[in-house]
Amino acid sequence: MIPFVSATIDTAALRQNLRVVRARAPGSRVMAVIKANAYGHGLVMVAQALNEADAFAVARVDEGLALRSAGITKPVVLLEGVFDGEQLALAAAHRFGFVVHIEEQVRLLEQAPAGAPFDVWLKLDTGMNRLGLTGAQFAAAHAALSLLPGVRQPVGLMSHLASADIREDPENMLQLQRFAQATRDLPGARSLANSAALLNFPAAQADWVRPGLLLYGVSPLAGTQGAEVGLEPVMTLHSRIIGLKDVARGERVGYGGVWTAERPTRLAIAAVGYGDGYPRNMPSGSPVLVNGASAAIAGKVSMDMIGIDVTELPQAAKLGDPVLLWGPGLPVERMAALAGTIPYELLCGISQRVAINSRKIPS
């Protein structure tokens, strides 16, 4: 059965984008960020394609367990850490490294039963004011972790830039200076750079980089596209036409009748909507590709459908014809801007009913 909506994942593009990241940060190891179902691309599929990464980063224990259940043996780091004895035991059993960002996590490690030491990253809050310790708390946590036989030494040192996508924001350099000052006399690997910092702040690359969006072929910088830095789009979101009708001049289309036909119009209905993750606020006039030709959305996005003005297509639209929502020829960065959001939200918003399939991974 042909799915109504599908996302095709180009695993060769994933590997190419990893090579671009390595070229950008030749002195750093790569912790590929594949949390949130690999930004909507399929957690296990992406991990298998990115087997040349040095480690994987996920947010939570359940994501790490899904990787291990699929036979992924590469190091996995839990960016939010663990929060109770059960999660700590799972981290021990499945060899998860994790981030420590609150004092309670230090206490948890102090009480941990003997076993193989954990790979721990201690997070310094340099100005994001989200996760991480500062000042005396950071110093005390580092001193405590450095004494624990259950923690592999030396402890890793991590922070996160709040505005790395805004090159001119002076807070970026202040954060880098705070990190350097707080960790100046400490041993251990460093990690600061996310995708935006990889592009904007080479000084943030350190021992490990943590690319996310770049791996999926998408630029994290407003007004730019991944192709500009050599990236290839990984996800192509497709639907197909399930209905066709002729609409007279002056007739309204869709909920609220926000779109009115200004001429006799051939209207196609494609089986995709906000129930699939295609944003409800994508405005009328936004482009899609029908059989590779550009056409425009007509009316509001519904839960399961969109209307498309196909009147002027060079080839008459037919039932079953393919409709491309984003992908090659229609960058997700462009579509996110039209919807008034960021590419992260479009990609992560792909719903469970969208069929995800991959192109063959080259040998």
Tens digits of residue pLDDT in 151-200: 999 999 999 999 999 999 999 999 999 999 999 999 999 999 999 999 99
Q: What's the rounded mean pLDDT across residues 103-109? A: 98
Determine how many CB atoms are found less than 10 A away from the CB of residue 84.
Answer: 9
Where is pLDDT greater, at 363 or 167?
A: 167
Tens-digit pLDDT profile for residues 16-64: 999 999 999 999 999 999 999 999 999 999 999 999 999 999 999 999 9
- The rounded distance, in Å, linking the Cα atoms of 190 and 160 is 11
Pick the CATH number of 11-217 from 3.30.565.10, 2.40.37.10, 3.20.20.10, 3.40.50.720: 3.20.20.10
Evaluate whether the domain defined by 235-358 bears CATH number 1.10.420.10.
Answer: no
Determine how many CB atoms are found less than 10 A away from the CB of residue 293.
Answer: 13
The tally of CA atoms less than 13 A away on the side-chain side of residue 105 is 27
Q: Which residues pair with 57 in a beta bridge?
A: 33, 77
Please give the single-letter amino acid code of residue 248.
A
CB-based contacts of 33, cutoff 8 Å, min separation 6: 56, 57, 58, 79, 194, 210, 211, 212, 215
Tens-digit pLDDT profile for residues 236-279: 999 999 999 999 999 999 999 999 999 999 999 999 999 999 99
Quote the pLDDT of residue 22. 98
Which of the following is catalytic: 39, 255, 278, 344? 255
Q: What's the rounded mean pLDDT across residues 88-98? A: 98
Residue 157's SS3 state is strand
Quote the pLDDT of residue 362. 39
Quote the pLDDT of residue 361. 41
Degrees (nearest 5) of the Cα angle 221, 227, 233?
A: 95
Quote the pLDDT of residue 363. 32
Q: Which of 51, 53, 70, 119 is nearest to 91 (CA)?
A: 119
Structure token digits, residue 179 = 């990190």
Quote the pLDDT of residue 229. 95
Counting runs of H as helices and runs of E as strands, what totals does the chain give? 11, 18
Q: Is 274 among the residues known to form the active site?
A: no
Degrees (nearest 5) of the Cα angle 272, 6, 361?
A: 160
- As a whole-number percent, the residues of the chain with pLDDT over 70 amount to 98
Quote the pLDDT of residue 360. 53
Q: Which of 181, 213, 177 is nearest to 197 (CA)?
A: 213
Quote the pLDDT of residue 359. 76
Q: Report yes or no: 18 and 34 within 8 Å, Cβ to Cβ.
A: no
- The rounded distance, in Å, linking the Cα atoms of 91 and 301 is 43
In the chain, what are the domain boundaries? Answer: 11-217, 235-358
Band of residue 1 on the pLDDT scale cut at 50, 70, 90: low
Determine how many CB atoms are found less than 10 A away from the CB of residue 203.
Answer: 13
Q: Are strands 306-309 and 190-193 parallel, antiparallel or unpaired?
A: unpaired
Which of the following is catalytic: 35, 216, 274, 278? 35
Q: Is 344 among the residues known to form the active site?
A: no
**What one-character DSSP code corresponds to residue 282?**
P
Q: Which of 30, 42, 31, 84 is nearest to 61 (CA)?
A: 84
